[in-house]
Amino acid sequence: MRSKLKGTTLIETILYIGILTAILFTIVNFMLSTREATTRTKRRSEVFSSSEFISQHLDYILSDVSSIDSSKSSFNTDSGILYITVQNGEHHYTLSGNNLENDGTPLNTKEVRVQKFFLEPIQDKKDVTIGVRISLEISSIKDAGINQSITVLHTIRE
């Protein structure tokens, strides 16, 4: 008598392995794409939150400025220096390396760099500095394509 048991042939086994490989390739590709998108979103968020913090900080501190020291400040350069006087004393802002610093304390996180701190003085008819326009460029350290520009204009209120 002949046995009627059937097994899988070599061709069927190769076909099953091919289908399984295609499915696994699709799953791995999807997982890698999702991971990359998550990483880029995180970097965008870091740049955005740093730019918001710096913008709010400058808006807050500049609202209390009583004077801008033009002799110590450095205007019209991408690495400007700003010396201001407020009620509790003098403060200075500098671009040191990749950090925007307020009295030596960095305002941005380690994941972001400030590439430009451009200061443009606003002067009255007597050439007294009565305000400043600040332009900043902030970008991700790990992905220079993720960046944001900020421009703040502030005048001294009397």
Residue keyed to tokens 């918001």: 52
Residue-wise pLDDT for 1-59, tens only, equals 566 667 778 898 999 999 999 999 999 999 999 999 999 999 999 999 999 999 999 99
- Residue 39 structural domain: 10-155
**d(Cα 132, Cα 154) in Å, to the nearest integer?**
6
User: Is residue 55 in a domain?
Assistant: yes
pTM of the model: 0.78
**d(Cα 94, Cα 104) in Å, to the nearest integer?**
8
**d(Cα 137, Cα 105) in Å, to the nearest integer?**
18
User: Would you say 90 and 84 are in contact if contact means Cβ atoms under 8 Å apart?
Assistant: yes
The total of structural domains in the chain comes to 1
User: Is residue 147 in a domain?
Assistant: yes
User: Is residue 135 in a domain?
Assistant: yes
pLDDT in the model for residue 127: 84
Q: How would you list the strands of the sheet with 99-102, edge to edge? A: 67-68, 81-86, 89-96, 99-102, 105-106
Average pLDDT across the chain, whole number: 91
Residues 6+ apart with CB under 8 A from 150: 51, 54, 55, 134, 135, 136, 137, 138
